[in-house]
Amino acid sequence: MDFKECIETRRSIRSFEDKPISDDVLKEIITEASFAPSWKNTQCARYIAVKDPELKAKIGKCTSAYPHNGEIMASAPVVVCVTALKSRSGFERDGSYSTDRENGWTMFDTGVATYGFTLACHEHGIGSVIMGIFDRDDIEKVLELPEERELVCIVPIGYPAESPACPKRKTADDLLTII
């Protein structure tokens, strides 16, 4: 799959085959995602791949604002919790903010890394959906996440059992101003 095909045909996948993903494939995907750019190469994104059915079900229950996300999580063979090391991206060594975006670069870097992760999944024939709606505090407790890390998003992944159409995109004319 070339770059154009990969970027244009990746879709959010919310229905998965009952087929496991090998640890070797997971490691290849994470290695590919590691090539994402990041603030001063701080590489703050960390991934927790939850395969354990009980743990997956526990996480899936922490979706009170949008239980459909929980159903998708429970049905995926792997639920990847994308976490970030705090106080790295956008910070100086003395702990002060580098810019007026303050802590915003942590989210930025993790988002960049997560998109690379989803493209790498797609290239391996694995579907994914980035999720932002979940009970963050509760899932951080379920994961026993250390204080220096925060949960940013959750990405259920698996071999796709659907091939959704591409939601309409804005055109380059809508998106681009050349001055």
Distances (CA, A) of 160 to 12, 87, 104, 119, 164: 10, 36, 33, 14, 10
Closest to 32 (Cα-Cα) out of 161, 107, 126, 166: 126
Q: Which residues contact 39 (CB under 8 A, 6 or more apart)?
A: 88, 89, 90, 98, 105, 108, 109
Residue with tokens 């085959």: 17
Q: How many positions of this chain bind ligand FMN (CB under 6 A)?
A: 10
Region from 8-16, 19-27, 29-37, 138-146 binding ligand FMN, contact rule CB under 6 A = 8-16
Stretch near ligand FMN under the rule CB under 6 A, chosen from 26-34, 36-44, 73-81, 126-134: 126-134
Residue 164 CB, nearest approach to ligand FMN (Å): 6
Does 11 bind ligand FMN (CB under 6 A)? Our answer is yes
| Window 52-91: residues binding ligand FMN (CB under 6 A) | 69
Residues forming contacts to ligand FMN in the complex (CB under 6 A) are: 11-12, 14, 69, 129-133, 167
